[in-house]
Structure 1
Amino acid sequence: MAQWTECLQFGIRLAREASQVVLEAFHQQKDVMLKSSPADLVTETDQAVEKLIISSIRDTYPEHRFIGEESVAAGEPVVLTDSPTWIIDPIDGTVNFVHRFPFVAISIAFAVNKQVEFGIVYSCVEDKMYSAQRGGGAFLNGVPLQVSAQKDIHQCVVVTEIGAERDDLSLSTMTSNIYRLLKLPVHGVRAVGTAAVDMCLIATGGADVYYHIGMHCWDIAASTLIVSEAGGVVMDTDGSQFDMMSRKVIAASSAAVANRVSQVVQAFPCPRDDEDPSNHNIPLQNGH
C-alpha cells in the first residue's frame, strides 16, 4: 500500500491546485460547446484543468500513462494497461458547472496492473476532499468514512442520474428504472449531477445505493475504490462482477441492497469504453 502513498499525496495536492481554476471560472460567463447531445457539454475550463493535471503528473512521473476525458473526446483511445495509469475527469458535472449548481468535482484515479490503487474526488465548491487507498480505508477531509450498512431496500435513499442521452430507448429505460424503484418502494431517489460525488455519498452513509448506466471509466474509477474502502459493495447493474469499462455500475451499502437493485434496473445498450479505437464517437455522458 505504502508504495503509492507519495503518488496519492501528489494527486491530492494537484486536485486542490486544479480546483482553483474551476472556482475562478465558476461564477464567470462560460463558452459552452456540445459533444454528443444538447445535454452533453464541455467548456474551456474542462480542457484547461485536464491539461494542467496531465502536464503536472507528466513532469513528476514521466513514465506514467493517462486516460483523460477530454483527451478521449479529442480522439485518443481508452487503453488501460498494466502500467501505472492516471484516470482523470477534470470536471465531473459540467452541466452543474455551467449553471453554477454547486456540485462540481475533479476525479483522479490511479491504476496499476489494471487495478485502482487510490482514488481522489474533490468536490470543489463544497471543499470536500474524498480519498481512498487500496487497503487503507476511505476518508472525507481526513475523517474516516463508513457506508450506512443498510440491508433493507425499502429503507434506502437511491442516487442515480438521467445522463446526457436523449434518445427514446435510453430515456424510457432510465425513467422506468426510477419508476420501478419508487414502486418497491424506496424512501427516495436523488440526483446530484456528478457521478463521482453521487458515489461518494454512498461512502459517507448519506445515501444507500447508487446505480448508473452510460457513464465512463473516468467518472467512477476513483469513487468505486472510495465506496469499497468505506465498506460498500460495487457491482455491474446485472449483478455480475464490476468492470470499469462496461459503463454500468451499482454501488451500495450492502450486497443485499446491491443485488435487489440489480433485479429491478435494466440497462440500455452502450459501447464499452475500451472496445472501439474511435472512442471519441461514443456519446460522452460526464456532464449529466
Structure 2
Amino acid sequence: MVKGNSRQARAEFERQMRHRINAGRVAVQGQISFFKRQFGQVASEWKEDDTRVTFADFAISEKIFAELRRDFPEDDYCSEEMSPLDEVLSLEAPFAWLIDPIDGTNNFALGFPLCAISLALLHDGTPVYGLLYDHATDTILEGGPDYGLFRNQKKLDRNRAAADAQVMLGLHFPMQPEVMDRLQPLLSKYRGRCIGSGAMTAACVATGYLTGAIDYRVKSWDIAAAYALCLAAGVRFHFIEASPFPMKSFHPRSDYCPYYAGTESICEEIRELMG
C-alpha cells in the first residue's frame, strides 16, 4: 500500500490513514440521528434497475461527502447515488471514498432494522478500511486488514464461528437456477439467512455470526466496507468473476461483482461446488 519502504514514508501513510479513519467515523456518526428519524418514515421511489431509493439516500451521501471534502479535497468521492447520466469518474487520487448511504434501502423504507450506512476508504483503488453503521444494533463496526476489527471502537475477536451443525450461510435471492442447482448440497445441509442488505451480510461473516456468504447481486459500493472488515477479521473473500478492486474508475451503472466469503472450510466447499 505504501510506495517506498522508508520509515518516513510508512509514518506519513499511517498519519494520513488515521486522519481519514477518524474523520470518516465522525462523518458517519453525524448522520445516525437523521438515519433514525427517517427510518420507516421516508417516502421512496424505484430506480431503473428495480431497486428502491429514498430522499435519505441522497441526503446522507451528500452530507458525509461534504464533511469529508472539507479535510480531504484532493480525495476522490464515489456514491451509489451519483447520477447515472454522469460520465465515468476516473480515480486518480491516492485515496478514494466509496459510500452506500443506506444499504438495505428496502428494509429501511419498510421499517425493518437490518440496514446500514456503509463507507469504505480506498487506497490505490483497494478498500483499506471500512465503517459500517449497523442500525439493528445501533453500533459502528469498523476495521481494515492492518488495523483489526472493532465495534464502537472496542476490539472484536472473530471467535464465534459456528460448529458444523450450526453453520449459517448468508444468501441473496433471486438466484439463477443453475447456481441454485450447484449450491443445492449446501442449501440442504446448512441454515440459510437472507437479510436484505449486502453490506450487512458480508459484515456478519466478518463478525462470525455467519460462517459464510454467497452473493451474486452486489455491486462494489455494497461490499467495499464489508470487504475491508472481512480482511480485518482474517476471513477469506473470493470474487467469483473479476474483482472490482483495485478500482480505477467508478460509475453507478457498474456491473455486479459476485463473491463468496467465510471460513477456510466453507470456502473450500463452495469452491468445489462452483467448479
TM-score normalised according to structure 1 size: 0.79
Structural mapping, 1:144-223, within 5 Å: 144-148=155-159, 156-162=167-173, 171-173=176-178, 175-176=180-181, 179-183=184-188, 185-186=189-190, 188-223=191-226
| Residues 46 and 52 in structure 2, CA contact (< 8 A), matched pair in contact too | yes
With over 3 angstroms needed to count, the CA separation of the structure-2 counterparts of 1:46 and 1:190, relative to structure 1, is same
With over 3 angstroms needed to count, the CA separation of the structure-2 counterparts of 1:147 and 1:121, relative to structure 1, is same
Q: Name the stretch that deviates more: 241-250 or 227-236.
A: 241-250
| Residues 35 and 42 in structure 1, CA contact (< 8 A), matched pair in contact too | yes
With over 3 angstroms needed to count, the CA separation of the structure-2 counterparts of 1:79 and 1:212, relative to structure 1, is farther
Q: What RMSD, in angstroms, separates the aligned Cα atoms of the two structures?
A: 2.6
Structural mapping, 1:56-135, within 5 Å: 56-71=67-82, 73=84, 75-77=86-88, 79-81=90-92, 83-135=94-146
TM-score normalised according to structure 2 size: 0.82
Provide the residue aligned with 2:269 in structure 1. Answer: 260
Provide the residue aligned with 1:14 in structure 2. Answer: 27
- Write the letter of the residue equivalent to 1:193: G
With over 3 angstroms needed to count, the CA separation of the structure-2 counterparts of 1:76 and 1:177, relative to structure 1, is farther
- Write the letter of the residue equivalent to 1:257: I
| Residues 131 and 138 in structure 1, CA contact (< 8 A), matched pair in contact too | yes
| Residues 128 and 141 in structure 1, CA contact (< 8 A), matched pair in contact too | yes
Take 2:158 and 2:182, find their aligned partners in 1: how far apart are those partners? Answer: 23
With over 3 angstroms needed to count, the CA separation of the structure-2 counterparts of 1:182 and 1:110, relative to structure 1, is same
| Residues 235 and 262 in structure 2, CA contact (< 8 A), matched pair in contact too | yes
| Residues 138 and 226 in structure 1, CA contact (< 8 A), matched pair in contact too | yes
The reply on whether 1:247 has 2:257 as its aligned counterpart is yes
Provide the residue aligned with 1:34 in structure 2. Answer: 46
Please state how far the C-alpha of 1:197 moved relative to its aligned partner.
1.1
Please state how far the C-alpha of 1:173 moved relative to its aligned partner.
4.7
How many residues are aligned here?
253
Take 1:218 and 1:202, find their aligned partners in 2: how far apart are those partners? Answer: 17
| Residues 100 and 119 in structure 2, CA contact (< 8 A), matched pair in contact too | yes
- Write the letter of the residue equivalent to 1:237: I
* Runs of 4+ displaced beyond 4 Å: 148-155, 173-178
The reply on whether 1:224 has 2:227 as its aligned counterpart is yes
| Residues 162 and 174 in structure 1, CA contact (< 8 A), matched pair in contact too | no
With over 3 angstroms needed to count, the CA separation of the structure-2 counterparts of 1:149 and 1:101, relative to structure 1, is closer
1:110-136 deviation line (CA, Å, top 9, x unaligned): 111122221111113421211013311
1:233-262 deviation line (CA, Å, top 9, x unaligned): 111236xx85446611112122x3213213
With over 3 angstroms needed to count, the CA separation of the structure-2 counterparts of 1:82 and 1:108, relative to structure 1, is same
Take 1:139 and 1:23, find their aligned partners in 2: how far apart are those partners? Answer: 22
3-state SS of the aligned residue for 1:110? Answer: strand
Identity of aligned residues (%): 23
